[in-house]
Structure 1
Amino acid sequence: MSEKILVIGESRDGVLRNVTFEAIGAAKKINSSAEIVGVLCGNDNLNSQAKEMIYYGADRVVTVTNEKLATYTSDGYGQAVLAVMEEESPDAIVMGHTAVGKDLTPKLASKLESGLISDAVDINLVGDQVVFTRPIYSGKAFENKIITEGLVFATIRPNNIKALDRDDSRSGEVQEKSVDISDLRTVIKEVLRKASEGVDLSEAKVVVAGGRGVKSADGFKPLYELADVLGGAVGASRGACDADYCDYSLQIGQTGKVVTPDLYIAVGISGAIQHLAGMSNSKVIVAINKDPEANIFNVADYGIVGDLFEVIPILIEEIKSLKVNA
């Protein structure tokens, strides 16, 4: 059983991503009595983020600040995290299965000559063994994995492992570590971002996704309104992205983002296998489609056969009235 577990935190625009807290929860599932040590990298003061990790269950946090860590690069963050690992000698390491996690953790595992269990959706103890569950075959099946010896290293899929309750009374040490970042093969000169509003798609609890049935970019407007009243995010099928109805950053599927929200509303989506690979593990799936034979209804928990441009406004009004009367 692990005695010290390192949790690699990840932030966006100075705010910790929810999967960081879920990773702490995963660490507690690996060993509830282990010391949880958070790791944060950046170029600004990371004390407030470190305290957040402590409130969510970390026992102490190591922060590494360097001007070369202002923007993520695998070389820079790899050097910083490896320096912390060498000093801490953890028995296990956990990070979110995000774009950064998927890029960084294989490189770390290679440097450490360690195995890596990626995209875990559940963790259980069977006797003295830690069993990780991960999806395979585009989510059609699951496999259980154990690490028989050496470092336990895993990434977890967002929205699958519950974070611990926030406890503002918790306290822990925040240690600042200086690391020399050198020989970077990649230097970020400028970052151009598309303006985005609302909830992050990969971590949203509610996702409203549109397909070719939305018919146009304007057809996505009701989806954004529905997502707004539900406190969710908007996604899309590849067909909608290919048709220029929306940006590819919204694409969900085998070649896009994989999401596992509490509620997934598929609007005008036929249900191609490539799309199902990115959302079929959602807890509740609602499909809205004019075609009663659409494949999406085979995976949906609830189906509405009808014109989305008639159904969506009704749903919005009903949800608004429920909020008013609540």
Structure 2
Amino acid sequence: MAEVLVFVDHVDGAVRKPTLELLTLARRIGEPVAVSSAPVQRTPRPLAEHGAVRVLTADAPEFADYLVVPKVDAVQAAYEAVSPSAVLFPSSAEGKEIAARLAVRIGSGIITDAVDLEAGEEGPVATQSVFAAAFTTRSRVSRGTPVITVKPNSAAVEAAPAGAVEVLQVSFSERATGTKVVSRTPRESTGRPDLTEAAIVVSGGRGVGGAENFPVVEALADSLGAAVGASRAAVDAGWYPHTNQVGQTGKTVSPQLYVAAGISGAIQHRAGMQTSKTIVAVNKDAEAPIFDLVDYGVVGDLFEVVPQLTEEVKARKG
């Protein structure tokens, strides 16, 4: 069976969940080979336990000291060593940039933001949710080795027999040291899950009325163990950080449960959450477009409904 190269997304060596999902998808179309820029002692075990028949690891200061080009060099080295039938990346900002640069280097087509992947007679077939999630398409790359990025929460994480670990030799190009990282500011941890990876997301919009009212949304999120999101109107007004924006110009999420509080449901926002498995909305406007999309809708004041929901969740958990 042909091998499929999977790029490992990690934080200080800790493998992120979207990578494990990629390994599950890769097993549908071939034998997964993971390529990681983390130290050899940090990443192999979870990768091998989730289906990687081989784990190629490279450890060099260039990966931390410079931007994405050193990682492109590493993936290209792995590509040349493996000759895979496809290369998979998570659909993060970094993942998509590395994927695009690799596709240019190897002269291949690229598909971004896939939500499913299956084997086809002429290569992997990717399913995408396009045009603000109004249509679902199935497509494949017709030139070169398919390079595909996949949205988080697109597949279940499945365990598999462990594979072998190999050290990848990487020769960095001159372009790899063109843009250097001169400082880092650690992001303040909220203790909540990452927005794009969370199984549950609770978002607030214009109806929240101000930054001082967002604790109502946060309280519900914390009771559910959820991430907190916000609409473009809320972040543009300065009520919540732009890093939490859900929408076409923000982050795309696909959780098991999405709760929209005080969000009207403009097409820009819908594009970022429409593939959520179950959608619940609370809005006092019965004609709000969000109600055309939801599985469950509550017409009411969010400041009355959301606190009651939070207390009910706590009571059932307690």
TM over 0.5: yes
User: Which sections of structure 1, spanning at least 5 residues, go unmatched?
Assistant: none
Alignment of 1:113-192 (within 5 A): 113-125=107-119, 130-148=124-142, 150-164=144-158, 166=159, 170-183=161-174, 184-192=177-185
Distance 1:79 1:130, change over 3 A: closer
**1:214 maps to amino acid:** V
Distance 1:273 1:311, change over 3 A: same
CA offsets 1:261-304 (integer angstroms, 9 cap, x no match): 11000000111111111111111110011111111111111111
Distance 1:72 1:228, change over 3 A: farther
Q: 1:97 aligns with which of 91, 113, 138?
A: 91
User: Which sections of structure 2, spanning at least 5 residues, go unmatched?
Assistant: none
Distance 1:236 1:72, change over 3 A: farther
Q: 2:243 aligns with which of 237, 245, 249?
A: 249
**Shift of residue 128, structure 1, vs aligned partner:** 6.3
Alignment of 1:1-326 (within 5 A): 3-30=2-29, 34-42=30-38, 45-70=39-64, 73-125=67-119, 130-148=124-142, 150-164=144-158, 166=159, 170-183=161-174, 184-197=177-190, 198-324=192-318
Q: What is the rounded CA distance, in whole Å, between the counterparts of 1:173 and 1:125 in structure 2?
A: 24
SS of equivalent to 1:202: coil
SS of equivalent to 2:125: strand
Q: What is the rounded CA distance, in whole Å, between the counterparts of 1:79 and 1:263 in structure 2?
A: 38
CA offsets 1:161-206 (integer angstroms, 9 cap, x no match): 2221x35xx4322112232334221111112243132200011110
Paired residue total = 315
Distance 1:35 1:231, change over 3 A: same
**2:187 maps to amino acid:** K
CA offsets 1:95-139 (integer angstroms, 9 cap, x no match): 111111111100000000011111111123455653211122111
Indicate conservation of the 8 Å contact 2:89/2:96, yes or no.
Answer: no
**1:186 maps to amino acid:** T
**1:35 maps to amino acid:** E
SS of equivalent to 1:275: helix
Distance 1:124 1:79, change over 3 A: closer
Indicate conservation of the 8 Å contact 1:47/1:174, yes or no.
Answer: no
SS of equivalent to 2:6: strand
Indicate conservation of the 8 Å contact 1:26/1:94, yes or no.
Answer: no
Structure 1 moving runs of 4+ over 4 Å: 126-129
SS of equivalent to 2:279: strand
Q: What is the rounded CA distance, in whole Å, between the counterparts of 2:214 and 2:34 in structure 1?
A: 40
Distance 1:229 1:27, change over 3 A: same
Indicate conservation of the 8 Å contact 2:107/2:144, yes or no.
Answer: no
Q: What is the rounded CA distance, in whole Å, between the counterparts of 1:83 and 1:146 in structure 2?
A: 24
SS of equivalent to 1:144: strand
Distance 1:240 1:71, change over 3 A: farther
Q: What is the rounded CA distance, in whole Å, between the counterparts of 2:169 and 2:60 in structure 1?
A: 8
Distance 1:53 1:143, change over 3 A: same
**1:202 maps to amino acid:** T
Q: Which moved more, 1:232-241 or 1:187-196?
A: 187-196
SS of equivalent to 2:196: helix
**What TM-score, normalized by structure 2, do the two folds share?**
0.94
Root mean square deviation, CA, Å: 1.7
Q: Which moved more, 1:63-72 or 1:17-26?
A: 63-72
Q: What is the rounded CA distance, in whole Å, between the counterparts of 1:84 and 1:223 in structure 2?
A: 44
**1:8 maps to amino acid:** F
Q: What is the rounded CA distance, in whole Å, between the counterparts of 1:54 and 1:223 in structure 2?
A: 39
Q: What is the rounded CA distance, in whole Å, between the counterparts of 2:228 and 2:77 in structure 1?
A: 39
**2:270 maps to amino acid:** L
Q: What is the rounded CA distance, in whole Å, between the counterparts of 1:17 and 1:217 in structure 2?
A: 30
Indicate conservation of the 8 Å contact 2:208/2:262, yes or no.
Answer: yes
**1:291 maps to amino acid:** D
Distance 1:139 1:72, change over 3 A: farther
Indicate conservation of the 8 Å contact 2:21/2:156, yes or no.
Answer: yes
